[in-house]
Amino acid sequence: MAGGPQTLGRYQLERVLGKGAMGIVYEALDPKLHRKVAIKTILISQLDEETAKDFSMRFVREAHAVARLNHPNIVQVYDFGEEGDIAYLVMEFIRGDELKSTLSTGRQFDRKECVRIMCELLDALDFAHEAGVIHRDIKPANVMLDGQGRAKLTDFGVARVTDSDRTHAERTQAGTVVGTPAYMSPEQIQGQGIDRRTDIFSAGVILYQFLTGQKPFTGEGAWTVAKKIIQDDPPMPSSINMALSPEFDRVVAKALAKSPDQRFATAREFSQALKRAAEGKPAIPEEEPTLVVPREARVQQPTHAPEALRSGEMELEFWRSIKDSDEANDFDLYVRQFPQGVYASLAARKAAKLRSGSPADDSGTRTMAGADRTRLQRSVPRAEAGESARATVEKTVKLADAPSPEPAAAGKRRSMLVPAILGVLVLSGTAAYFFVMKPSQQSAAQKVEAEAKAKRDAAEAAKAEAQAKRDAEVKAQREAEAKRDAEAQAKREAEAQAQRTAELKSKRDAEAQAKREAEAQAKREAEERAQREAKVQAQRDAESKAKLAAETSLWESVKSSRKAADVQKYLNRYPNGQYAEPARQRVLELESARLEEAAKKQKEGEKKKSTIIVPPTF
């Protein structure tokens, strides 16, 4: 790669996958294991000492958190380290896209795929929670979809370890605000204690996006979004997507409950409820009712937000979300969260400028310009009024120009109420002028003719309106019937397709089971045959060994004998034995020796016989 490092540690960098304000993500190769990896880097030389230390700790935290999480829906972390002024984290390489980019393209997920992806995400969360890890930053940007569309949860950099393995620094951060505003839970925004149910709330926000195509809590600035998360309930998903059943409303309402105690206790429980809703079954058992109607507005309790993380990435993300806001409260929130932040002084100046530029905040007065008066006067319909019309108009104008006696703090609410009241007064005065003063100058005949024409026009308009209403009702009824018929047809086709798929799957499963059983049977028979053959071979070897031992013993006992008959006994028993040839030679030698001995004895006998002296006979 031109203009950048070629290696990090033992890893060979191949291309840039993405760039952010704080670092770069590379595709790389691990030459030792010959596998693709993704490497997230931070250039710590561009950060102050405290922020650099925080990012290094974040990489270590993510590596330690994911090291205990071996799950198919969690992106694995393989390694981390520092080289020069670059801190890096080595992760599993996923060929796919972030869920955030997929949602931003406007892609519509069908219901089945939506439920599958959410259940995979919830399964990963449940696994992490059971291992004692809370993610704390669940959002579409931290969910990957691989080439097969499977969900992969990533970025445990702000995860919190809930067991005794936490460091002292992690224990002292219990009140720290960490996360992305639009996906944070109420307790997370307020800096209160959190547990696994915080992740469940964030997952509920993602589910809402899946079902409706929009976020449940939106606003012009982070302050507005945070206020809605704490106080307001979002519209029910079925009110936006008419195809949704009320059971999905129940699931979303329980996941997005303001109180953690009213949410699902575990991600697994959330997943099971979602599956039941998708199957058309009651999502929430009757003994655990969940209200989906909007609550009464809460009175916001004053909270004292703790000192926020001095993390460069979190600060930058927060600043980007509010930098174009027109609300001074957003910049005040930034200053409270990041009092020593890079943009703290700029945020304070913007807040002061917004306040100084607001007439309501400075003087507490409201003034109606002449153009506004004219516009109001021209937009009013005629109405009956008395002779005091002109006096009413004059009084209204004076009231509009008079300073408000209320304090500046209530100016913003009154800014909406006062123009409304003034508008009604101006309208009534102007209408009185046109209906009382002008008609008085017309002749009686013209007035009667105008009234008759007005009545005819009104009657025709009412008739046309009634006809249009009837036509609209008929059209709506036909469309509803067509929609029901289409849905019924689609349902029948889906059921038939599901039945065919189930039958095909059952057939394939049966064939696979039969094949497995046949293979297992063949394997058992082969093993038994091999065992029998081994046993026979062992028996043969034993017999052969015993026979060889007996033959050797017999040979050892007769090979030194001087009797050919003894050696002949070996030959008679083992005519083809390993000592058969030596035995035959031995027999020949003994037989030859015997013959020589016999011949020698015969010669000696004859010699004795020839030397006998016979006395003479007289």
DSSP 3: T
Cα 182 from Cα 199, distance rounded (Å):
13
Please state the φ and ψ torsions of residue 445, each to the nearest 5 degrees. Answer: -65, -45
Question: In 306-410, which ranges are continuous DSSP H helix?
Answer: 312-322, 328-337, 344-356, 359-362, 370-378, 389-401
Q: Phi/psi zone of residue 149: left (φ > 0), alpha (ψ -120 to 50 degrees), beta?
A: left
Cα 125 from Cα 54, distance rounded (Å):
25
Q: Which of 30, 137, 233, 330 is catalytic?
A: 137
Please state the φ and ψ torsions of residue 294, each to the nearest 5 degrees. Answer: -60, 140
Q: 10: burial class by Cβ within 10 Å (0-12, 13-18, 19+)?
A: middle
The alpha carbon dihedral of 480, 482, 483, 485 has a sign of positive
Do 392 and 425 contact (CB within 8 A), yes or no?
yes
546 to 93, 543, 549, 552: CA distances (angstroms): 65, 5, 5, 10
Residue 521 C-beta-side C-alpha neighbours within 13 Å: 6
Cα 171 from Cα 193, distance rounded (Å):
12
Question: In 29-148, which ranges are continuous DSSP H helix?
Answer: 49-67, 99-104, 111-130
Please state the φ and ψ torsions of residue 25, each to the nearest 5 degrees. Answer: -110, 125
Beta strands in 405-456 (DSSP E): none
Cα 239 from Cα 566, distance rounded (Å):
114
Residue 489: CB atoms within 10 A of its CB come to 10
Beta strands in 246-399 (DSSP E): none
Letter for the amino acid at 163?
Answer: D
Please state the φ and ψ torsions of residue 135, each to the nearest 5 degrees. Answer: -70, -50
The closest alpha carbon to 135, from 116, 153, 114, 117, belongs to 153
Cα 531 from Cα 526, distance rounded (Å):
8
Joined together, the tokens standing for residue 539 give 């028996």
Do 325 and 351 contact (CB within 8 A), yes or no?
no
Residues 6+ apart with CB under 8 A from 292: 236, 246, 249, 250, 253
Angle value at C-alpha 20, between 19 and 23, nearest 5 degrees: 85
Helices and strands in the chain, H and E counts: 20, 11
Residue 137 a catalytic site member: yes
Do 379 and 424 contact (CB within 8 A), yes or no?
no
Cα 320 from Cα 140, distance rounded (Å):
18
Do 77 and 88 contact (CB within 8 A), yes or no?
no
Q: 């005065």: which residue's tokens?
A: 429
Instruction: Indicate which residues carry an active-site annotation.
Output: 137
